Structure 1
Amino acid sequence: MFKTLLLLVAAVVAVNAEQHTVHFDNRCGFGTPTLIVGGRVVSTGGDFTAGGSISGAIAYLQTGACGFNGEGCTMVETTLRNPTSPGSGSSTDITLIPPHSFSVTTGFGYFNGCDGVGQDCTNGGCNTAFHQPSDTFVQRACQVNNVNLAITFCD
């Protein structure tokens, strides 16, 4: 009986556990999508799924000209987390703040919640990316549990 109860509790916890996936769609025909979380490369193109929140992640298309932290390239910054209070959920943006600079068309969009919320940057002068730290209006938030993120290059 105890084992059955323990398995039931474990199944309920697993169903309700926080989880987020970052998916890449590289349409450029070159380069390596790169996702870094906590200073560690966690994906070079494949889906990355975290059993919990993803904080302070960065993503870019490594073309051979990008530094480890995306320097010299268009970069996506994201935090994916379930909201614990209003406004405390996920937030994603594109940055061109130096030392980052435009390299390829880059976009992102949430899925499995907040569908249709995202951003694209198609040139170095796009008004949908950070160019200076005060450009906070370019951030896109999502206040839905277990939201996922798709990042597209060259669309």
Structure 2
Amino acid sequence: MFSLNAFVLTALAFTVFGVNAESHTVHFTNNCGFGTPTLIQGGRVLSTGGDFTSNGPLTAAIAYLQTGSCGFNGEGCTLIETTLVNPTSPGSGSSTDISLIPPHSFSVTSGFGYFNGCDKSGADCTNANCPTAFHQSNDNQVQVACQANNVNLAITFCD
């Protein structure tokens, strides 16, 4: 029979040593002097500039600088697409990219980089012809992958 003392000790061990729950933070830096950094997932605004932390995977999220001329899903603006997820097998972790596939188009210099894992991995887009962005749906080489647990993402505008 499982005693109350054993239950308390088990609960205490989980509290002290922690359970490695998945978590990811998206951080924005807006150096433009205008606009509102926006993070959306599934039609829901998650952030308008402040850090956003997901308790679990953050899948199919988009980010852009709302300058007043962007559509709700970033139409007409530079779009950053991300999925932040702990890998369960090789190649199944996080992936982030910049998209200029119409109806998206270059609006402001935009970039991203992973931190707390895969540091120094990321991409910047400084003009409408940037080679680090999707221009067509088959530009898969511009995706930046990360195979680290609990990786975070920094997004910068106008740097």
Superposition pairs of residues 19-98 of structure 1, within 5 angstroms:
19-98=23-102
Matched, 1:124 2:122: no
Superposed displacement of residue 6, structure 1: 1.7
**2:104 match:** 100
Of 95, 115, 118, the match for 1:114: 118
Matched, 1:4 2:30: no
What is the TM-score normalised by the length of structure 1?
Answer: 0.96
CA–CA distance in structure 2, aligned partners of residues 125 and 7 of structure 1: 56
Task: Tell me the matched-pair count.
Answer: 154
Q: Letter of the aligned partner of 2:13 in structure 1?
A: L
CA–CA distance in structure 1, aligned partners of residues 46 and 14 of structure 2: 30
CA distances 1:89-138 after superposition (whole Å, capped 9, x unpaired): 00000000000000000000000010000000000011110000010000
CA–CA distance in structure 2, aligned partners of residues 50 and 141 of structure 1: 19
Runs of 4+ in 1 over 6 A off after TM superposition: none
SS of the aligned residue for 2:145 comes to: strand
Distance 1:39 1:86, change over 3 A: same
CA–CA distance in structure 2, aligned partners of residues 5 and 116 of structure 1: 39
CA-based RMSD: 1.0
What is the TM-score normalised by the length of structure 2?
Answer: 0.94
SS of the aligned residue for 2:134 comes to: coil
Superposed displacement of residue 78, structure 1: 0.2
* Structure of higher CA gyration radius: 2
Consecutive unaligned residues of structure 1, counting only runs of 5 or more, are none
Consecutive unaligned residues of structure 2, counting only runs of 5 or more, are none
Of 118, 143, 146, the match for 2:147: 143
